[in-house]
Amino acid sequence: MNRRDALKNLGLGAGYALATPAIFSLLQSCKSEPVFTPVFVNQGQGHALRRMVDLIIPSDETVMGANELGVHQFIDGFWKEILKPEDQAMIKIGFSVFENKFKSTFNKELVDGKTEDFDQLLSKYLNTSKEEQKAYNKKMEEYEQDYENDKTATPDEDAACFNLLSQIRGMTIWGWKTTEEIGENVLAYDPIPGQQKGCISVEEATGGKAYSL
């Protein structure tokens, strides 16, 4: 499994299992604040991250959304504290490409972006076909190989944007599900499970809810 595949499957690999204490510490420290001061990405990129996280899992009348739970802060902190330097470099490059794409599309800076602007780009890349996504992934694999030998190499614009936005989507879902609010009050939470019961429906087991643990 390569780096990008590991990031797509956040929380499932051995590296993330080993990082669990640090991850939970990051989650516990996150909270929704009127002003978000990112620690890894720049201010404009942080603005974009916050808006996109809110679009991916918005709040409603009954359940708090990702932005309200501070998932954007968690992602930014995760990138800074958990990722290896080579993975951090890929995030930086991806955001730089995304920033240029945003400017050329809307003729304004990221920090001035509106919700509808980010929604347009999320829809453009995350609603692509499986065939297009495979092509983007292949281009990014080739780019990462080139980058190892030549740090001045540049990725395909669409492939880099898709790669970044799909990672943000995956981390948003993972971070949201892992928060105390969602894990204990929305999903099925059973830290000390009882007997194993096979061949029963999800409705019977948890009332139709996924387990948080």
Does a structural domain hold residue 124?
yes
DSSP letter, residue 112: G
Is 187 a member of any domain?
A: no
pLDDT in tens, 71-113: 999 999 999 999 999 999 999 999 999 999 999 999 999 999 9
More confident residue, 150 or 174: 150
Give the domain range for residue 149: 3-178
pLDDT of residue 174: 87
- The reported pLDDT for the residue numbered 18 is 41
pLDDT above 90 covers what percent of the chain?
58
Q: Is residue 200 part of a domain?
A: no
Cβ-based burial of 103 (10 A; exposed 0-12, middle 13-18, buried ≥19)? middle
Domain assignment present for residue 19? The answer is: yes
Please report which residue ranges of the chain form alpha helices under DSSP H: 3-8, 14-18, 20-29, 43-56, 71-81, 85-106, 115-126, 130-149, 157-178, 180-185, 202-206
Radius of gyration, CA atoms only, the chain = 18
Total domains present in the chain = 1
Domain annotation covers residue 160: yes
Per-residue pLDDT, 9: 42
Q: Is residue 87 part of a domain?
A: yes
In a domain, 212, yes or no: no
Q: CA-CA distance, 189 to 186, in Å (whole number)?
A: 8
Tens digit of each residue's pLDDT (9 = 90 or more) over 20-53: 555 555 555 555 556 789 999 999 999 999 999 9
Coil vs helix vs strand at 199: coil
Q: What is the spatial distance between Cα 208 and Cα 211, in angstroms, rounded to a whole number?
A: 10
Output the pLDDT for position 133: 96
Q: Using one digit for the tens of pLDDT, what is the confidence trace for 181-198?
A: 555 555 444 555 555 666
Question: What pLDDT score was predicted for residue 35?
Answer: 79
Q: Is residue 211 domain-resident?
A: no
Top pLDDT among 99 and 177 is at 99
pLDDT tens, position by position, 132-173: 999 999 999 999 999 999 999 999 999 999 999 999 999 998
* pLDDT at residue 145, as a whole number: 94
- Kindly tell me if the per-residue pLDDT of 15 is higher than 50: no
Reported as a pLDDT band with limits 50, 70 and 90, residue 212 is very low
